A and B are shown apart, each in its own frame.
Chain A
Amino acid sequence: MSSHDEKYSGSCAGYAIGALDGKDLQEFEAHLKEGCASCGSELSILKEASALLPVTIPQLNPSPELKERIEFSARLSQIVRKDIDKTEEEQVEQPDEHPDIKPAVKAKHSAIVMGMLIAMIVMLIGFSVYIYSLFRTLEDQKNAGVGTQALLVKAVEELERKNIILDVFNSRDLKLIQLHGTEFNPDGYGQLIWDPAAQTAVLHVDNLPQAAGGKVYILWVSINRQYLFAQQCSLITEWGAQNYFQIKFAKNIDANDFEEIFATQEFNDKVSYPSEQRYLFYKKVK
């Protein structure tokens, strides 16, 4: 056996399953960085073998809800992505309000917008840092035009909202409450995606009409026969036919306590009791 085999070959298996530690690990990683083809190849084969070990354990089926959750998550992230693309196109199509600005400055500005949109996709990490830096950049470029700045601020607010929605959606303790259409609009439906740890929810509604002139949608939650005002939801069709709203409950709530969830159209957001016109509802089955 060569000195190479003696020193490194015996470490391949341990490294493949993550058991190598201490000095052995340091030496073997340094050896791999040198580009040893033999060890690299052995490692690959041993990793493939170790990946097959779980075929021998008792096979368990995950709940059907897990598949639904994953499909719904994927759909939501796709909607967000489409919306990003759309926003990007809109940004590109904006009329040139400041023809006097030098092309280099415009190019820099355009790069910021692009960077911001990419950050949306990878928003799970470092999003807040990016927003902060974006505002700093905006501060530095006040002379670049108020209209463009307002556009960017609006885009940032939108991204922040979607970031919260995605954060809720990625919560591990997610609860899903199906909402059903009323007689008024039997085609309306929705879900309340609930993150108990953060006391935050995302209301997803579909096929509901625009709020009548001057009215706003209010979401209500009924617990112990008392109506808890949740949040004003200005129902606007901004993501195609889909509408997502972030809802932060001020009170500590257990989703299991929900008796009814519904939305009403009100003339203002100061009402203390819901009107009779209920657009979505969930009723706990007793």
Chain B
Amino acid sequence: MNLNNELAPPAESSGRNEEDILLLKRIGDRDELALTSLYDKYSKILYSLTMRILKSVDDAEGIIHDIFLEVWNKPNDYQSNKGSFFSWLMNMTRNRSLTRKRSRSMHKQSHMAELNSLSFHTETHHGGASSSSLIDEYRDSVLGAINKLNGEEQQVLILAYYEGYSQSEIGRIVNLPIDVIKFRIDDALRTISSQLQRRS
């Protein structure tokens, strides 16, 4: 599957990125309201991601605090030619959360216990008035895409994305060859990507 022939950045995400870049420029001019706007826009999903990985309020808030302060102090660290600000922010948050998790040696937990609890939230749920527009915009599409994955694909995607395991580690956990894991990750993420593009 060649994504380049099928996919281009969705128009709405492109518009959102332009808004984010404007906010970053204002942050560069030391506009505190721009930082507040960015926080209001993304803090909820960043916090939810960090809590999903770390399951600790103190750790999660510490990471979110550091990330927004870093954006405030170094807004030029984001390079628009390498992807959207949103994905940059999410990747930075996820990486830091996984690093913190590894430092807490949470990987020592039983793999079987983790496997039993692995599932995406595939029911449609709405966050009410406080739900952000980004979540409203993409939740159903991403859920729809995830529902197209089989159980094995969902499992490896969760182990890789939220638990931070490498393909070799996942292979050992689920007792399958690395090539199979690699294929499942590839297939899962490409399926989601294609579904999102069809939606747009």
Contact = CB atoms under 8 A, between A and B. Distances in A.
Top 7 nearest A-B pairs by Cβ distance?
A51-B87, A172-B62, A49-B193, A21-B166, A51-B90, A13-B189, A19-B160
A110 interface: no
B48 A71 contact: no
Contacts of B84: 48, 51
Interface string A6-23: 000111111011111110
A21 B168 contact: yes
Interface of B: 2-4, 7, 9, 13, 30, 32, 35-36, 39, 43-45, 47-49, 51-52, 57-62, 64-66, 68-69, 72-73, 82-84, 86-87, 90-91, 95, 98, 120-122, 125, 127, 130-132, 134-135, 138-139, 142-143, 146, 157, 160-161, 164-170, 178, 181-183, 185-190, 192-193, 196
B196 A70 contact: no
Interface string A45-65: 111111111111111111100
Given A46-B193, A60-B44, A74-B32, 12 more contacts: A12-B186, A13-B187, A17-B185, A18-B160, A22-B168, A42-B2, A54-B45, A56-B120, A59-B48, A67-B36, A73-B72, A172-B66
Nearest to B4: A41
B61 A62 contact: yes
Interface string A199-235: 0000000000000000000000000000000000000
A58 B48 contact: yes
Question: Looking at A11, A16, A77, which has the most chain B CB atoms within 10 Å of its CB?
Answer: A16
Contacts of B178: 24
B190 A56 contact: no
Contacts of B192: 49-50, 52-53
B32 A57 contact: no
Nearest to B196: A49
Interface residues of A, number: 53
Interface of A: 5, 9-14, 16-22, 24, 38, 41-42, 44-63, 66-67, 69-71, 73-75, 77-78, 81, 121, 170, 172-173
A241 B24 CA distance: 28
Contact of B189 (A9, A17, A22, A57): A17
B167 A55 contact: no
Given A17-B161, A20-B166, A56 B146 contact: yes
Nearest to A22: B168
Contacts of B39: 67, 70
Nearest to B81: A44
Contact of A54 (B52, B57, B95, B131): B52
Nearest to B127: A59
28 contacts: A13-B185, A13-B187, A16-B189, A17-B160, A18-B164, A18-B166, A19-B160, A22-B166, A22-B168, A38-B2, A41-B4, A44-B82, A48-B84, A48-B193, A49-B189, A49-B192, A50-B161, A52-B192, A56-B142, A58-B48, A59-B45, A61-B130, A62-B44, A69-B65, A73-B72, A121-B73, A170-B69, A172-B58
